[in-house]
Chain A
Amino acid sequence: DTGVSQNPRHKITKRGQNVTFRCDPISEHNRLYWYRQTLGQGPEFLTYFQNEAQLEKSRLLSDRFSAERPKGSFSTLEIQRTEQGDSAMYLCASSLSRISGNTIYFGEGSWLTVV
């Protein structure tokens, strides 16, 4: 078990470009979450999947953001027409759904800098 894996770890892009981040969850985990964290703040929920179904999207997830988990394994988060305000760390996490108290495990994060 290698934990939650994210790549790329760092991305610098010009404003207006598209970027895509990939997340590989812990292998048996059926839930996958995306969070965004800006400097000095706590992580903010963006969206989550149970298997391949996207069950909830935050209002933070504008129409420039799209997330997929096509086969219920890895997930991608794409940001189109990036803006400077998109600069943040994008965290992926996974868990095995239980009735209560399921532990959510985080990856190392993908840093995005929009210049």
Chain B
Amino acid sequence: GDSVTQMEGPVTLSEEAFLTINCTYTATGYPSLFWYVQYPGEGLQLLLKATKADDKGSNKGFEATYRKETTSFHLEKGSVQVSDSAVYFCALSDQAAGNKLTFGGGTRVLVKP
């Protein structure tokens, strides 16, 4: 079945540091890939997505590129802020599986001033 593996946290950074969160996936079909962010006590918000190989999703300074050859979708941000402290989830959506989302375990990011 489909699965998503992402690096475990917590990841602790100083403000303006570079952030990378690794994500790899396994899928039988041709999935769409997503990053969701969850702030404390809240639901999930879509951060960015990519629907086919070599697509780059971007939003709020975050970027991720759909790499089919390495089955990866790593999240990056060049200069993090304290407000980026949250839990980040990588997910895939497979049309063959009803387009439901399969999530990774989440990576907690803490940015210190």
Query: Which of A's residues lie within 8 Å of B, judged by CB?
Result: 4, 6, 31, 33, 35, 40-45, 48, 55-56, 91, 93, 95, 97, 99-109
Contacts of A6 in B (CB 8 A): 43
Check if B102 sits within 8 Å of A45, measured CB to CB: yes
Interface size on B, residues (CB 8 A): 25
B49 interface residue per 8 A CB criterion: yes
Task: Tell me which residues across on chain B come within 8 A of A101, comparing CB atoms.
Answer: 32, 49, 51, 93
B100 in contact with A56 (CB, 8 Å): yes
10 contacts between A and B (CB under 8 A): A35-B101, A42-B4, A42-B105, A55-B98, A91-B44, A97-B99, A100-B32, A101-B49, A104-B46, A104-B93
Kindly report which residue of chain B lies nearest to residue A42, judged by CB atoms.
B103
B residues less than 8 Å from A40 (CB atoms): 106
Complex Cα–Cα for A39 and B41 (A):
11
Whether the Cβ atoms of A43 and B89 lie closer than 8 Å is yes
B12 at the interface (CB under 8 A from A): no
